[in-house]
Amino acid sequence: MLKPNAHYADLKDSYLFYNIAQKTKAFTAENPDKPLLRMGIGDVSRPLCDAVISALHEAVEDQATPGRFHGYMPECGAPVLRQTIAAHYARRGVTLSPEEVFVSSGASDELGDILDLFDRDSAALVIEPAYPAYVDANVMAGRRIVHLSSGIENGFLPAPNEDIDADILYICSPNNPTGAVFSREQLQAWIDFANRRGAVILFDAAYEAFIEDDALPHSIFELPGSRNCAIEICSLSKTAGFTGTRLGYTVIPLELERQGMRFNAMWVRNRTTKTNGVSYIIQKGASAVFTEEGQRQIHENIRIYKENARVLMDALDALGIWYCGGRNAPYIWMKCPDGMDSWTFFDKLLREIQVVGTPGEGFGACGEGYFRFSTFASPEDTREAAKRLTTLLSRSENGSRD
Ligand code: PLP
């Protein structure tokens, strides 16, 4: 008889977003006259920019026109898009060859699929609080997971230590959920650690476009030694509003190898076996993101989210509440006031001011006592949420900055 993959039974219930949905649904059923301000969502609210929309229309016309029609696309991405993305890196001083860039349907797909490259016995390090997919993708594969907690004492940016016994190291910077960003020195310490151990870093750069501090690295490949130990996974989801349009890219340096096996060549083999590439239309839309006009337009949208961040940060500053993120990331990670646990704080905000955020405990045990706000809501909702938060928390004895 066929045996299922028994590791699925090891998955913990993904109760975080389910619980939030249940609680908000129940509240709305009881209080239909009280609309919610949703500050928890990790999805964008701004539509695609004009440059992308024009390119998409043009691509649709191509598909309707003999001689311009495209059938199957190359599995690893259209050469012109791979070239365009490599040129985008070059503008930041990172030299890549187009064959090192793989076009994907998004970072989630890649974060799961890329595990095909590694032995099942290799252990995965997850720095917590973390984006839940890292743990689940490895549980499904039956891998041992090493959890590394972070906290207020290291600004949620822990350093490596020689006791960490793992081979696949997930680093997400700017981070979801904390919004914290590794400095060059902090990231270098992880690169050096990975090279000493022969480990591979999976660098999740889904939020790099939100970095505004010039000193912070957008790409791990800005740092020496990274080409021998890192794979970078990127996405246009938050950068350019592609959450529903779907396009990402993954960088695997040609020289990255372990035991004589090159991961770039292995990934070519994987993609040519397991995919038939990303749609022509979407790749053409994505190419427009990297034009001068496209970059100007996507940054105009990012500026709106950043203004939302500013409104929330100003409110927390005025309340004297500790937080990180916001400046270089679309998430703000705040300490719950009065030592409240994160679900109690969630319930309080829902019941008293109809603001919905995300309890930190859902991102790992060390997220208990913290709360995530996303900055992707509309400016109107964000301003109203900040105002209500200020009124509510200035009435209570909130925790001081520590
Ligand atoms: N990585 C992180 C850290 C994310 O927060 C997300 C989405 O929220 C993703 C990856 C997935 O991005 P995509 O939409 O490209 O699958």
**How far is Cα 5 from Cα 21, in angstroms, rounded to an integer?**
29
pLDDT at 76 (0 to 100) = 98
Give the mutation target among 176, 207, 232, 239 for probing the ligand 1 site: most ligand atoms within 8 A of CB: 176
**How far is Cα 368 from Cα 39, in angstroms, rounded to an integer?**
18
Question: Does residue 358 line the site of ligand 1, with CB under 6 A?
Answer: no
Answer for the pair 122, 143: CB distance below 8 angstroms, yes or no. Answer: yes
Question: Does residue 179 line the site of ligand 1, with CB under 6 A?
Answer: no
**How much distance in Å is there from the Cα of 325 to the middle of ligand 1?**
17
Question: Does residue 235 line the site of ligand 1, with CB under 6 A?
Answer: yes
**How far is Cα 295 from Cα 311, in angstroms, rounded to an integer?**
24
Question: Does residue 105 line the site of ligand 1, with CB under 6 A?
Answer: no
- H helices of 153-214, where? 184-197
Taking the whole predicted model, whether its pTM rises above 0.85 is answered as yes
Strands 355-356, 230-235: pairing kind: unpaired
Going 183 to 185 to 187 to 189, the CA torsion angle's sign is negative
Question: Does residue 330 line the site of ligand 1, with CB under 6 A?
Answer: no
pLDDT tens for the chain, 402 residues: list them. Answer: 999 999 999 998 777 888 999 999 999 999 999 999 999 988 999 999 999 999 999 999 999 999 999 999 999 999 999 999 999 999 999 999 999 999 999 999 999 999 999 999 999 999 999 988 899 999 999 999 999 999 999 999 999 999 999 999 999 999 999 999 999 999 999 999 999 999 999 999 999 999 999 999 999 999 999 999 999 999 999 999 999 999 999 999 999 999 999 999 999 999 999 999 999 999 999 999 999 999 999 999 999 999 999 999 999 999 999 999 999 999 999 999 999 999 999 999 999 999 999 999 999 999 999 999 999 999 999 999 999 999 999 976 544 443
Question: Does residue 131 line the site of ligand 1, with CB under 6 A?
Answer: yes
For ligand 1, atom 16: residue with the closest CA = 108
**How much distance in Å is there from the Cα of 65 to the middle of ligand 1?**
35
Two tokens at 222?
Answer: 């800005």
**How much distance in Å is there from the Cα of 207 to the middle of ligand 1?**
8
**How much distance in Å is there from the Cα of 107 to the middle of ligand 1?**
5
Give the mutation target among 237, 282, 372 for probing the ligand 1 site: most ligand atoms within 8 A of CB: 237
Give CA 305 to chain center in angstroms. 15
**How much distance in Å is there from the Cα of 319 to the middle of ligand 1?**
31
Two tokens at 13?
Answer: 């219930």
Ligand 1 atom having least distance to the Cα of 172: 3
Give the mutation target among 238, 239, 245 for probing the ligand 1 site: most ligand atoms within 8 A of CB: 238
**How far is Cα 127 from Cα 164, in angstroms, rounded to an integer?**
11
C-alpha distances out from residue 256 to 137, 175, 176, 276, 279, Å? 22, 25, 26, 24, 28
pLDDT at 402 (0 to 100) = 37
Cβ burial, residue 141 (10 Å; 0-12/13-18/19+): middle
Ligand 1 atom having least distance to the Cα of 248: 15
